[in-house]
Amino acid sequence: MENEKLLEVKNLQKFFKAGRKNTIKAVNGISFDIYKGETFGLVGESGCGKSTTGRTIIRLYEATGGEVKYKNESVHGKKSKEDMLKFNRKMQMIFQDPSSSLNPRMTVMDIIAEGIDIHNLAKNETERKNRVESLLETVGLNKEHATRFPHEFSGGQRQRIGIARALAVEPEFIIADEPISALDVSIQAQVVNLLKKLQREHNLTFLFIAHDLSMVKYISDRTGVMYYGNMVELADSDELYRNPLHPYTRSLLSAIPLPDPEYERGRKRFAYDPADYETDEEPEFREVKPDHWVRCTEKEFEQYQEQLNNK
Amino acid sequence: MSKLLEVKDLSVSFNTYSGEVQAVRGVSFDVEKGETLAIVGESGSGKSVTTKALMQLLPKPQGQIKSGEILFEGNDIANYSNKQMQKIRGKDMSMVFQDPMTSLNPTMKVGNQIMEGLIKHRNMARGEAKKKAIDLLEQVGIPHPVLRLNQYPHQFSGGMRQRAVVAIALACNPKVLIADEPTTALDVTIQAQILDLMKDIQRETDSAIVFITHDLGVVANVADRVAVMYAGKIVEIGKVDEIFYNPKHPYTWGLLGSMPTLDSEEEELFTIPGSPPDMLNPPKGDAFAPRNEFALEIDTKMEPPMFKVSDTHYAASWLLHKDAPKMEPPASVKRRMQGFASTDDKDGEK
């Protein structure tokens, strides 16, 4: 499982025009791989480009530069309708806001079956119905829910509908863009457990985008930290939380409030100011130790290595 | 100990087309000077409504205080007229709202919004108020306060806007600051800054803070005491250590268990099944019973009273009754309690 690359992102860029003169470099050249069967977590504060990255990978946005390869085939570039369909079936997305990502004028049945219809996965009406009903059961809803409209559901239930819709076309890879941020704590745990269960049962690969670091640590195998359009650190989740190297990662970790008063009283916060680390040299993404990448300059690179060796 | 704010058996209902929604059903708590009380609970548990009732900010005429007293420095403000409330609001009691985007007036300069309260409540002249506003902006950590004073909210970032809102709330040195999810809309790094800021200011002014949130991490950071709300009632209240290390109510267990900690291993998160009850027809007996795997038979019939765990710690669960069977809390909660048991011995409790 470890070795098979499902998705390769190479130097991906996405710029937005802001007015005639300015461009916003939302994603400014990031590279990473996602292996089959893993959950890759992407964290960062709002506006760092993590959602844009997710959306560009699935081609909701056209990339400005760079490449996204899914099973060695480029996602972007000129494609026939058939080719696009093929991709769309393998890659699906779960959105942050469960109320605005479901069409309020469609029944749950039609919302979930939309993908089934587009990809002609059901031969007749009964099969379509059966599929939707079994999907609803998979995500923990009842089949009676199929005839209802989205507004009749609670936030957690709506997110389950969104998950059922993503699963309808039997995808291999799901991009979950802050799927639990809008939900209550007790409901968050339900949805996270569901995602984990689905991953086990359907052998799914996840790109999990979030700003809740403790949840990301819990769900993902590897985690990437983004800061202003760049990936600043990438490592196994455990390694990243144990040995954060980049100052931004450290400041982010030091800011997470933990449900533990004892710990909170002794908390030392660490602020990150990029100006403190400014050099003339353009930092590069380097592998400090096997599978632990940090964006740093040559000098910092040596420091980090020393730091790790002394541990 | 001086009780600054005392809420006794407060009930709030909303009249809607489909009937009466009993948002808050008999809530009692008190806050002392210099203390932070955190109210936690899911959305719809009535925590925001409780605090809006304190400030008389409920939408009229649908929202009504059905019964109960709100004693502020000994005076019952529940029946104060709008005119009387205006003298308290923003002066003795002020509020920080969740969303800094919507709680500032977009057509007014930030400086004027801060000065408004100063001129109204403290009879300051404009020039004096302006000086104070600059101080306040500086105090909440906004760089270039003189320049910022003349800017509009849209020129501020989210974190800066929330700082400005905090500055407005603090302008008249309130005795009670009510913060309704002040950091929920912010990033963790900015959240940490705002929390530190509020704690610093509390230390300086000795004001009481009522802090509403659903993030238990934030609670652990700011609170002295914690009240857990469910379905319009306080189900458990106690000192922060008592709630986090010796929780007694199954709902508190659920909340604590459903949050992964940074060192939690590969185990399934403990979840509370189902979703909160419909407050149009609150269930009979213990409102949490249908979602509670530890529910006893009596839970469906009778509402549990507040059982005393210690002088400061109370919980409403039949499990605490002397005839109740012993229940094992989920593993993650048990781990928390181990730490507490040892500190218990030190205090020589019981």
Sign of CA dihedral A259, A263, A265, A269: negative
Residue A7 has pLDDT above 80, yes or no: yes
Is B132 or B272 the better-scoring residue by pLDDT? B132
What are the angstrom distances between the C-alpha of B216 and each of A13, A220, B222, B227? 37, 22, 10, 11
What value does the mean pLDDT take over residues B275-302?
84
Model pLDDT for residues A98-148, shown as the tens digit of each residue: 878 999 999 999 999 999 999 999 899 999 999 999 999 888 888 888 999
Nearest alpha carbon to residue A238 among A257, A253, A260, A259: A253
Average the pLDDT over each of A93-102, A287-296, B329-338 and give the range with the smallest value.
B329-338
* pTM given for the model: 0.83
Residue B322 has pLDDT above 80, yes or no: yes
Strand A205-210 to strand A39-43: parallel, antiparallel, or no bridges (unpaired)?
Answer: parallel
B122: left (phi over 0), alpha (psi -120 to 50) or beta: alpha
Q: How far apart are CA B256 and CA A157, in angstroms?
A: 22
E strand or H helix that includes residue A74: strand A73-74
| DSSP for residue B329 | P
Phi, psi at B279, each rounded to 5°: -80, 0
Q: Inter-chain contact A157–B275, Cβ cutoff 8 Å?
A: yes
pLDDT of the residue at A205? 94
Model pLDDT for residues B188-203, shown as the tens digit of each residue: 888 888 898 889 889 9
> B293 and chain A: CB distance < 8 Å anywhere?
no
Model pLDDT for residues B92-111, shown as the tens digit of each residue: 999 998 887 788 999 999 99
Question: What mean pLDDT, rounded, does chain A reach?
Answer: 88
**Residue owning tokens 């941020």:** A181
Residue A1 has pLDDT above 60, yes or no: no
SS3 A96: coil
Shortest CB distance from B256 goes to which of A187, A190, A259?
A259
What value does the mean pLDDT take over residues A284-302?
88
Buried b (16+ CB within 10 A) or exposed e, A243-282: bbbbbbbbbbbbbbbbbbbeebeebeebebeeeeeeeeee
Percent of chain B at pLDDT > 70 equals 95
> B105 and chain A: CB distance < 8 Å anywhere?
no
B265 — pLDDT class (breaks 50, 70, 90) = low
Residues A212, B191 contacting (CB under 8 angstroms): no
**Which residues of chain A make contact with B41, given a CB cutoff of 8 A?**
none
Residues B307, B317 contacting (CB under 8 angstroms): yes
Is B278 or B266 the better-scoring residue by pLDDT? B278
Phi, psi at A96, each rounded to 5°: -70, -50
Expressed in angstroms, the distance from the first to the final Cα of chain B is: 24
Q: Inter-chain contact B43–A184, Cβ cutoff 8 Å?
A: yes
Percent of chain B at pLDDT > 90 equals 45
Chain B closest-CA separation from residue A85 CA (Å): 35
Q: How far apart are CA B115 and CA B138, in angstroms?
A: 14
Residue of A nearest to B261 (CA): A214
Residue of A nearest to B270 (CA): A189
Residue B340 has pLDDT above 80, yes or no: no
Residue B342 has pLDDT above 60, yes or no: no
Considering all CA atoms of chain B, what is the largest pairwise distance in Å, rounded to the nearest integer?
68
**Which residues of chain B make contact with A238, given a CB cutoff of 8 A?**
none
All domains of chain B in start order, with CATH: 1-92+175-349 (3.40.50.300), 101-173 (no CATH)
